[in-house]
Amino acid sequence: MIVTETRAPSRPAARQPARIWPNAAAGIVAILVALAGSSAVSHSGDELATLSAARRGLGGLWELAQHIDGHFLPYYGFMHLWLELGQAEWWMRLPSALATGAAAALIADLGRRLGSPPAGLFAAVVYVLLPSVSYHGQNARPYAFAAAAAVLATWALHRAMEEPERRAGWWRYAAAVGLLGCTQVFSLLVLAAHLSAVGLYGRGVLPRTVASMAVGCVPGAMWTAVGFAERHAISWIKLPEPDVFLALPKMIGGTALAGCAVLILAVAAPLVRRRHGADRLWIALLAGWAVLPPLLLFAVSYLVSPVYVDRYLFATVPAYALLAGLTLAAVPRAVAGPALAGVLVAGLPGQLDVRREDGHHENFPRAVRIITDAAEPGDAIVYGRSSLREGFLYYGGGSLPDDVLRTGSAPLPDSFGYPERADLAAAVEGRERVWVIWRGGSAAASGVDRVGELTEEGFTRVKAWQVGRVPGMTVALYTR
């Protein structure tokens, strides 16, 4: 006998098409919101890593995956095919926008299943209004896919538990878990919420859940092993302090104010559970989905290797939206309307901010404009870090000064950098002006050896510009 409070309401076949349209509308609106302004925002360094990886041939992509970012190989492989059709900013970001739309549509349907149609629509609207969702929805990285896959896995689990005797439902759940592990490996932490909630309130289906989850986790386990072997690539991550949890509202909402607004609504969901009709199993699952991944990522950082980064937790954001949707559907409309408007107002500055030219923290177009507006014939350009070149090649093309250090047109097979000659003095011989670009502000603090070498050759800094947000980039002009 199955011990679970999961409700299985009747679903008249004639009403099924009517239920699709609200979900589809939520998805379409989410796509449009994510795409709005996406062409005006500079690529980030991570997005340029996607570009560098995806533009390689399949052999080159496989070679790269054996040294760095191997756990992103499914995403890079998909983007390799996608970029065959174009490489404009909006086109590179369109897959993430489509994933955001899929997540919103699934949130609307899952909220309906757990509570009511208004609960689903409220949850989808909350999700779309969050600046964090817009940021990842126009970010050429796999995090929007991870969030969508997390919703899909939870939706598939609910479907399977409605008719636990049907094997098709459990195979569907296994497939959704498999997809989840192929998006971003830390999104698998969401499954801890599935196990804990089913273990507490759905023991009759626990064996089936565990078996399906085990099958679905095979791809994720493989990519986790690959990522662990290449953990040198994230050696920059430091051990987290407990105060990282204070930053969760900003991770959730994109701004601290928007995150706090959603967090308040989410915390209220268990208090109004009986009014919105969701049973304890699914409230516990949503709460675990929201809370357990940050705690587990923090623990893994101390027990295995430092891995705590806010963006790795983006797959938890749909849980907060669903809890908020359940709350809004349970309270009077006179309360729900102003509360939803509060989420909109709290997130509006963040929505505008992520659509600025430096909305993804970098500003390669401005750096290129600074150089091209002031460059003179015979100028040279030198990069403090070879991988920075990717952004200038993308936005500057052939309008930049002579790249005197680069020795090949293709990036290195085992990294995102380019092959360079080591003899800077010989490379700038006969040059009177050299542009130097490095990350951060102080060249000494950033460990830029090129500046010291230029100084030894008699160059002095004429002017420097700070570009992008902290740590940003420095564009400096040196002359003899």
Tell me the pLDDT tens digit for each residue of 136-174: 999 999 999 999 999 999 999 999 999 999 999 999 999
For residue 86, which phi and psi values (nearest 5 degrees)?
160, 160
How far apart, in whole angstroms, are the C-alpha atoms of residue 66 and residue 58? 13
Please name which of 196, 182, 439, 438 lies closest in space to residue 295, comparing C-alpha atoms: 196
What integer is the mean pLDDT of 199-228?
95
- Provide the pLDDT for residue 5: 44
Please name which of 265, 261, 244 lies closest in space to residue 253, comparing C-alpha atoms: 261
What integer is the mean pLDDT of 25-39?
96
**E strand or H helix at 439, and its extent?**
strand 433-439
Indicate the pLDDT class of residue 13, thresholds 50, 70 and 90. Answer: very low
The CA-atom distances, in angstroms, between 292 and each of 106, 194, 297, 298 are: 21, 10, 8, 10
pLDDT single digits (tens) 382-420? 999 899 999 999 999 889 999 999 999 899 999 999 999
Burial code (b: 16+ CB inside 10 Å, e: under 16) for 310-328 equals ebbbbbbbbbbbbbbbbbb
CB contact at 8 A, 284 and 185: no
- Chain center to CA of 171: 27
For residue 402, which phi and psi values (nearest 5 degrees)?
-65, 125
How far apart, in whole angstroms, are the C-alpha atoms of residue 266 and residue 244? 20
- Give the DSSP per-residue string, 209-266: HHHHHHHHHHHHHHHHHHHHHTGGGGTTPPPPPGGGGGGHHHHHHSSHHHHHHHHHHH
How far apart, in whole angstroms, are the C-alpha atoms of residue 76 and residue 66? 13
Indicate the pLDDT class of residue 77, thresholds 50, 70 and 90. Answer: very high
How far apart, in whole angstroms, are the C-alpha atoms of residue 443 and residue 435? 13
pTM for the full model? 0.93
CA-atom Rg of the chain in angstroms: 25
Coil/strand/helix, residue 438: strand
Identify the residue whose tokens are 């669903």: 322
Q: Count CB neighbours of 143 within 10 A.
A: 26
- Beta strands 402-403 and 460-467 are unpaired
Please name which of 417, 362, 361 lies closest in space to residue 389, comparing C-alpha atoms: 417
- Provide the pLDDT for residue 120: 96
